[in-house]
Structure formats: C-alpha cells, structure tokens
Chain A
Amino acid sequence: MAGFPPPGATILGDAAAGKKIDEVGKKKVDYFNLPCPIPFEELQREAIMSLKPELFEGMRFDFTKGLNPKFSLSHSVFMGPMELPSQGAETLKIPTAHYEFGANFIDPKLMLIGRVLTDGRLTARVKCDLTDDLSLKANAQLSNEPNMSHGMVNFDYKGKDYRTQLQLGDGSLFGASYIQSITPHLSMGGEVFWAGQHLKSGVGYAARYENDKMVATGQVASTGMVAMSYVQKVSEKVSLATDFMYNYLSRDVTASVGYDYILRQARLRGKLDSNGCASAFLEERLNMGLNFVLSAEIDHKKSDYKFGFGLTVG
C-alpha cells in the first residue's frame, strides 16, 4: 500500500499539471519486480480483524509482566459460562472458571509462546526462521486426556514474488499452498489438502486485490466453501468491512457487515449478521498499559445474549 505524492502541485500551469498526471498514471509496471504477496492463510486478514474480534462472555482479567524486551510471563483469569456443542436448538452453557499461565519469548528469529490451563491443557506455538526465506511454524494443543492432542507443523518458503507453504498435521493431515503476485495489486493462489483420518481431500483457489483504500478477496474450495470479503478504508480512523460466505454443498449462507473505528484511546468494532446476530467489541485504553474490554453479542434467532467485560494490564 504505497502512497504516491499528489501530482499537479506545480507552478507551471494546468497543461503541465495534466501532462504530469498522465505520466504518473501510465507508469510502467515492472513485472519482474513485483512485491511479495501476503501469506495464503492471511489472505482475508483485514476482514477477519474487523469482523471477527475475540468475543467472550463473562469476566476476563489478563496480566502480562515483561521481564525483558523479549521475555514475558502472562497470567489470565476467566470466569464465565462456556458453551458446549449441543445437537438441539438450545445452547448448553456451563459456568467455568480457569486460570491460565503463559510464557512468551519473542525474538526476530525465534518466537515461542506457551499457555497452560489449570486442567493441564497446553497450547504451544513456535515460529523459527531457519534461513532468510524459509521459516518453520508449529502449533500444538496437548492435553492429559488420551486422543485429545493435536499438532501441526508448517514450512513456509518466501520467494521473490511468491510464497509456498507445506503443512503436516497429526492424523495424517497434509496440505500445501502457493500464492503468486500477478500485478502490484493482485495476487492469486491455490491450496490443496488431504486428511487421512477423515478420508477427505480438497482443492481451493483464492485471489486478493488491494490498493491504498480497499482490499477485496475471494476464495473457492472444493469442500463447498465460497467466501468473499471487501474492506474499505473510509478514513484514517474508520474502516468498513463486509463478508459473504456460502457453502454450495450444505446450502448455508452467511453475510455480515461491520465497522472498525480505530481512535486514539479506543478501538470499537461492530458487526451485523444475516443470522440475526449483532455484536460489538470495545477496547479502551484507560491509562498506560491498562486496557478495559467490553464485548457484547446478541443472537436474536437463538435468543442467546452474551455480555463480557475485562481488564488487560500490561
């Protein structure tokens, strides 16, 4: 998203200004020097950041203590109802409370993030830059219960104007993706995956067009998913986003519209869904290092109302 200086700011008059605009508009595209595209899994990241904040229900308190610019420990307390997946139309909620301890080590070349809950579940994320272009990412969720642990390893290779990724997961899950810059604004890619345990495989294609003011993405997969998103940056502080997801195998469709206000002391995100769901998420900076968080999600169709509040320190 480079910004060019506004043309025409000369003292030579309108004719010269017109000629300068023409030159800037017809600037030759160097197809051998295209920028490196966004990684395939982050294709829709602007839409996801604006439309899908981490909504929660209950009380949340997070405390992060930095011992070092690279090393920090975090303590997190959560009290609230947790939803259980239920077969019927009613949502089952069970009140839970847990404490989570976490340690983060963040270096330009190595990133280690670990979180452990009171019931023994560990979430681990590792990101390591093996060379300038090749990086290894791994994440795992380990638990004491048998057969409830999962892990995944990704190898990412960044080329001059393309990126490829190879993914290996437990339960014989293999995936590969490739994305290439076609023009300075457009990039297209595809992915293929094979899940051995569930005996499923699929192919998907995606495209992303962006410029200074907007980002539009589209994704199609053989699992039946069609997803499109559009984010428009209306001003420095305001973005509007819209998202459309359609599954042509199960005939499921969801469309949502949302806004994202990034103000000096606060960030407010709101969304309205075609499933009759309205949600909002506010993060307000009360003081240096002290953030207050409010989350609300009202589902009119299921009559499910979720409100949460929390404090984040550090």
Chain B
Amino acid sequence: MASRVALKVGGKGKKSGKGGRGGEGKSRTECLKEWTDWSLHKAKVIAHYGFIPLIIVIGMNSDPKPQLYQLLSPV
C-alpha cells in the first residue's frame, strides 16, 4: 500500500495499482480471484453448518405445524 501511494501521488488506489503492476503485489484480477475464493469458502462453511437447520426451520413452519417435542421424541 505504501509503495502504491509513493508512485502515483493523489491518484486513486485501485487505478494506480493496476497501472503499476510490474513491481507490486496485487492486481485487479488477482484481487477478484481472491475475493471469489474467500466468498466460496464462506458459502461452503455456511452451507455445511446451516443446511440441516434450514430444512428443520422450513419444516417446522409448514402446515400442519408440528410441535417442538415431536422433533426430539421417537414416537
């Protein structure tokens, strides 16, 4: 970040970053790729922990509404 500011004083962060890609860390495409990887990873974690609770919530709110004890009892 510090080197980007030094190269183009007063210019916007992202634009100068793309222009001065040669010696620096991240470019726009790499940022985009990192962002999609991060969001896919978060979506996977949310799906992993939240899918079964989601089915249970949708099921408990459907008609005819079942009681809470029916969720746990084996009868």
Residues of A within 8 A of B (CB): 63, 65, 67-68, 70-71, 73, 101, 103-105, 107, 112-114, 116, 120, 122, 124, 140, 142, 144, 149
Contact = CB atoms under 8 A, between A and B. Distances in A.
Contacts of A105: 55, 58-59, 62
Contacts, number: 52
B52 A71 contact: no
Nearest to B59: A71
B58 A68 contact: no
Contacts of A70: 59, 62
A71 B62 contact: yes
Nearest to A67: B66
Contacts of B31: none
| Interface SS of B by simple majority | helix
A63 B73 CA distance: 12
| Interface SS of A by simple majority | strand
A245 B51 CA distance: 38
Interface in B21-68: 44, 47-48, 51-52, 54-56, 58-60, 62-64, 66
Given A73-B71, A103-B55, A105-B58, A68 B66 contact: yes
A114 to B, nearest CB: 5
Contact of B74 (A65, A122, A140, A144): A65
A107 B70 CA distance: 20
Contacts of B55: 103-105, 112-114
Contacts of B59: 67-68, 70-71, 103, 105
A268 B60 CA distance: 37
Contacts of A120: 48
Nearest to A102: B52
Contact of A122 (B51, B62, B70): B51
A73 B59 CA distance: 10
Contact of B58 (A63, A112, A122, A124): A112
A218 to B, nearest CB: 38
